Structure 1
Amino acid sequence: MYKIIKLPNQLEVITAPLSSTKTITVLVMVATGSRFENLTNSGISHFLEHLFFKGTTKRPTTLAISSELDRVGGEFNAFTSKEYTGYFVKVEASQLPLALDVLSDMLLNSKFETAEIEREKGVIIEELNMYLDNPLIYIEDLFEERLYGNTPAGRDTIGTKETILKIDRKKILDYAGAQYSSDKMIISLAGGFKPGAIKLINKY
């Protein structure tokens, strides 16, 4: 049986205990995606998702972030859609504090260094090229473009080469500041966690 709790900062927490498993998945959902973008910053939600893995003040590199979770056999990833962006970590249940620490560090303390932003442009453009070479993905994008026209719903989540190249640190900081607030986030915990999990969320 799941429960929904709203914390004083308006952050919503969904807990779904599963006594049959020894793992736990922490999923942070943010109410932002390409639907919230415009012609000048198209693709910025997806771009920002990439940057949250590029280093924080506490864990300054991608390797520093990934190695802590790899060390305990954790799985982690993220995704961006038109309506929302999600970040998740799956670990052995006793590693819940680590999962919350890493996720909160990424979402609250990412550095968004200019050099990383410039490097990531090439990565994302290659990702865009890969999608354009995939007929199934490409036809879906064309269908949405024809259906919704020149609106956020009709534009590709990843953006275009032109908009990707124009994204800079100021645009990233402005967008993150506007979209990544606690009242626009939901944290879901599912798995073999103990009742004290809510206290841990308050801590981080």
Structure 2
Amino acid sequence: MKKDGTYITDANEGLHSQVNYRKAKQMLLTHPYTNARLYHLVLTGSESREDYKWAIDLLCRELRANDMPVMWKACYERDEKKRFHAHYFLLIEAHHRIPCQIMRYRKGEFLESRLSERGIAFTIAPPGKEVHHYKGKQQNYAFVPKKASPRLDDALVWVSYLFKMRSKQDVEGQIYTSSTNRGSEKVRPAKEAA
């Protein structure tokens, strides 16, 4: 069986998991979103999967509470520079709201302040290809249309970064994880005082 490697995996010691890469591509090809955006979030600063799970759960709850359904695929890696860290590719519905409003880097903003409580730092790694630029400017996300297009083709390659061989050999235990495909969870309005 032929492996589905990309120029990204080829530059990073090859493809680590063909099965998981195909699942990620399937997520991008069959999503139900009107205005899907793909973000690459990198979490560092902890040696604990539980801390990273807490962080992604917190972010997803906040996105869903603000009418932004989200699905994600992730991997854990270990290397000398970033030590134990996690990569998340989040596919977010941006039809009604802008995800960047929740994922701002500024000190004191929601995500930065909550993650820093546990010593976790985050970075959003933008796609490099010009096809995802908007009005000539690089965006923090890739557009993921439902129909075949250069943007979709590039997103399918970009997500392969999760499945590169490099930095996986020293990870103990589970390497890959993903969300369950849940819809938007609306926050219930507070009961009025009688």
TM-score tier, shorter chain, comes to under 0.3
Higher relative contact order (CA 8 A, sep 6+): 1
- Higher helix proportion, which one? 1
TM-score for the superposition, normalised by structure 2: 0.26
Q: Flag the structure with larger Rg.
A: 1
